[in-house]
């Protein structure tokens, strides 16, 4: 039985100071027992001689400085994992909340994980077909990638994420897959939307859910993604499954981080977020990937809402520096009723180059992709000019580009949330659009592909 302390000195926000402790270590998990027998969890943030500064994972209501007891458990926060976790729903701290029995853990894992040795990583290069042209054709997702969705309030990121989860497959394989879903501070409605959508397709049997809703304690959110990723790592690297992890909403997670940092009176970085937020986010995102000698993989789709639609806000900014690209949703396209409203120009998949081409998608993929990007960029410029100066001010060729941009948004991007296009369909639509332009404009495409596809009908 670990030693109990009744020496809580201070409770302020999510922090608590305990005096006179012995043999307590950094990052150790603790338990607070209230008078009514209820227990809450906490972890050690700083230990200075006999003073332990601890962070609560749950709210502090009811803690009494004199009568509440604190125990330190001699281990860090752990999650008991087993394959039975599939199809179950857990709360933000990994406790079952679907009324089912407790999990009989096969083993217990430290939720913080261990950094992956870069020499032991396998480079992600297997093409995942999501059936969404704007992603498959232009911002290709590969197995083991972390590709966030940058959204904003009121945009349909949930529909897009659910569509990806529903349609994503590696073609020509029949390997076991799983979805791990972590909700951080989102509303019941949004969480329910995902659950319903998993049920609809039957994917729910292969899904592990960790749910911290908007009315759950904010500090619990610090642990939620780590729980989810620990489960994902177990399924991927111990059980050889291909795991898709959806984390939503990272913005709420970062705000919880800021809350703790502010309570500790740390020197704030930009917009009050702590200076170590980059490292902290990296410790989540970098857990995606593939490993040498292991069959499974973790592909991660974090979702974040950009405050004020601002991509330079610290949360999207730091995320973009860590993740391997980003899918950006645009309010302008959403207003034009483009579904999904993916703004392809600032979107990017950094790993696409190794995932596309002959033997993976099709030989002409890389060339047409670059051409579509630059043609769409030029078309948008032409359209801007048209707004200012009128159509007459455009050269003939720019008029074609403007037409291309319109058609591109309508046919290529706007496919709806239920169309599942094969990569060939996507590429063919691309060629159909490129035929709007004269062949001499298609400088980024090799002659052989132009010969094969440009004139073909």
Partner 1 sequence: MSTGTIKKVAGPLVIAEGMRDANMFDVVRVSEQHLIGEIIEMHGDLASIQVYEETSGLGPGEPVESTGSPMSVELGPGLIGSIFDGIQRPLDDIMKATGNNLQRGVSIPSLKRADRWTFVPSAKIGDRVIPGDIIGTVQETPVVLHKIMVPQGVSGTLAKIEGGEYTIEEAVAIVALDEGGERELTLMQKWPVRVGRPYREKLSPDVPLVTGQRVIDTLFPIAKGGVAAVPGPFGSGKTVVQHQLAKWSEADIVVYIGCGERGNEMTDVLNEFPELKDPKTGYSLMERTVLIANTSDMPVAAREASIYTGITIAEYFRDMGYSVALMADSTSRWAEALREMSGRLEEMPGEEGYPAYLGSRLAQFYERAGRVVSLGQDGREGALSVIGAVSPPGGDISEPVSQATLRIVKVFWSLDSNLAYSRHFPAINWLTSYSLYADTIGRWFSANVEEDWTDLRNRLMRLLQEEAELDEIVKLVGMDALSAPDRLKLEAARSIREDFLHQDAFHEVDTYTPPQKQGAMMRLVLAYFDEATKALNQGASVESLVKLPVREQIGRFKYTPDEEMEREYNNVLHQLQSEVADLLNRKEEE
> For residues 329-348, which are near partner 1 according to CB under 8 A?
345-346, 348
- x/- mask, partner 1, residues 423-442, rule CB under 8 A, reads -----------------x--
CB atoms within 10 A of CB 396: 8
By CB under 8 A, is residue 19 in contact with partner 1? no
- Count of residues that bind partner 1 according to CB under 8 A: 81
Question: Does position 317 bind partner 1 by CB under 8 A?
Answer: yes
Element (H, E) at 373: helix 365-389
Judged by CB under 8 A, the stretch of 18-26, 160-168, 301-309, 404-412 that binds partner 1 is 18-26
Vertex 197 angle, CA 130 and 229, to 5°: 70
The C-alpha atoms of residue 369 and residue 136 are separated, in whole angstroms, by 10
Residues in region 97-126 near partner 1 by CB under 8 A: 110, 112-124
266 binds partner 1 (CB under 8 A): yes
Residue list 60-99, contact with partner 1 (CB under 8 A): 76
Measured from the CB atom, is 119 or 456 closer to partner 1?
119
Site residues (CB under 8 A) for partner 1, limited to 359-388: 366, 370, 373-374, 377-378, 385, 388
How many CA atoms are closer than 13 Å to the CA of 342, on its beta-carbon side? 28
Query: Which of 125, 28, 10, 141 minimizes the C-alpha distance to 76?
Result: 28
Could you give the CA distance from residue 219 to residue 42 in angstroms, rounded to a whole number? 10
The span of 8-16, 90-98, 224-232, 261-269 binding partner 1 (CB under 8 A) equals 261-269
DSSP code per residue over 172-232: T----EEEEEEEEEE-HHHHHHHHHHHHHHTGGGGEEEEEEETTS-TTHHHHHHHHHHHHH
Cα–Cα distance measured from residue 162 to residue 170, given in angstroms and rounded to the nearest whole number? 17
321 near partner 1 (CB under 8 A): yes
Provide the H-helix boundaries in 275-358. 277-285, 314-322, 331-335, 352-355
Least distance in Å: CB of 68 to partner 1?
A: 22
What's the min distance (Å) between Cβ of 159 and partner 1?
24
Nearer to partner 1, 57 or 237 (CB): 237
Tokens of 302: 């974090």
CB of 67 to partner 1, least distance (A): 26
Residue 272 found at the interface with partner 1 (CB under 8 A): no
Q: Which of 30, 131, 148, 325 binds partner 1 (CB under 8 A)?
A: 325
User: Residue 212 and residue 183: Cα distance in Å, rounded?
Assistant: 6
Q: How far is the CB of 165 from partner 1 (least distance, A)?
A: 22
At residue 47's C-alpha, the angle toward residues 29 and 28, to 5°, is 15
Binding of residue 48 to partner 1 (CB under 8 A): yes
Q: Which of residues 278-297 bind partner 1 (CB under 8 A)?
A: 278-279, 282-283, 285-287, 289, 291-294
- Minimum CB distance to partner 1, residue 128 (Å): 15
């Amino acid at each position: 039985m670990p030693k109990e302390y009744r020496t809580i000195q201070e409770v302020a926000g999510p922090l608590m100071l305990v005096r006179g402790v012995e043999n307590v270590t950094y990052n150790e998990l603790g338990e607070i027992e209230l008078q009514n027998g209820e227990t809450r969890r906490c972890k050690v943030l700083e230990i200075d001689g006999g003073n332990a500064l601890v962070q609560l994972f749950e709210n502090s209501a009811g803690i009494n400085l004199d009568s509440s007891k604190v125990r330190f458990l001699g281990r860090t926060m752990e999650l008991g994992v087993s394959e039975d976790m599939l199809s179950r729903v857990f709360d933000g701290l990994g406790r079952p909340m679907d009324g089912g029995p407790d999990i009989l853990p096969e083993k217990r894992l430290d939720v913080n994980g261990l950094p992956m040795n870069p020499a032991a990583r396998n480079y992600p290069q297997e093409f995942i077909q999501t059936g969404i042209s704007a992603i498959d054709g232009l911002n290709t997702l590969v197995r083991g990638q972390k590709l966030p969705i940058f959204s904003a309030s009121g945009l349909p990121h949930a529909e897009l994420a659910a569509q990806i989860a529903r349609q994503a497959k590696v073609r020509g394989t029949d390997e076991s897959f799983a979805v791990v879903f972590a909700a951080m501070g989102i509303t019941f409605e949004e969480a329910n939307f995902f659950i319903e959508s998993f049920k609809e397709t039957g994917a729910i049997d292969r899904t592990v859910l960790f749910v911290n809703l908007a009315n759950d304690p904010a500090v619990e959110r610090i642990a939620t993604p780590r729980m989810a990723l620990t489960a994902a790592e177990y399924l991927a690297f111990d059980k050889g499954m291909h795991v898709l992890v959806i984390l939503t909403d990272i913005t709420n997670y970062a705000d919880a981080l800021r809350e703790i940092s502010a309570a500790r009176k740390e020197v704030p970085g930009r917009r009050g977020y702590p200076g170590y937020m980059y490292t902290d986010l990296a410790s989540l995102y970098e857990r995606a990937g593939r490993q040498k000698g292991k069959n499974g993989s973790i592909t991660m789709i974090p979702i974040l809402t950009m405050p004020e639609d601002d991509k330079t806000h610290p949360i999207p900014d730091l995320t973009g520096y860590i993740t391997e690209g980003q899918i950006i949703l645009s309010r302008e396209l959403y207003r034009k009723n483009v579904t999904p409203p993916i703004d392809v120009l600032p979107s990017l998949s950094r790993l696409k180059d190794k995932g596309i081409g002959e033997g993976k998608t099709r030989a002409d993929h890389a060339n047409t992709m670059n051409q579509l990007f630059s043609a769409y960029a030029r078309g948008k410029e032409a359209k801007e000019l048209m707004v200012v100066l009128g159509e007459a001010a455009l050269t003939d060729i720019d008029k074609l580009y403007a037409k291309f941009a319109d058609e591109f948004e309508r046919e290529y991007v706007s496919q709806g949330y239920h169309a599942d296009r094969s990569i060939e369909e996507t590429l063919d639509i691309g060629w159909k659009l490129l035929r709007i332009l004269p062949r001499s404009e298609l400088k980024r495409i090799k002659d052989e592909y132009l010969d094969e596809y440009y004139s073909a009908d």
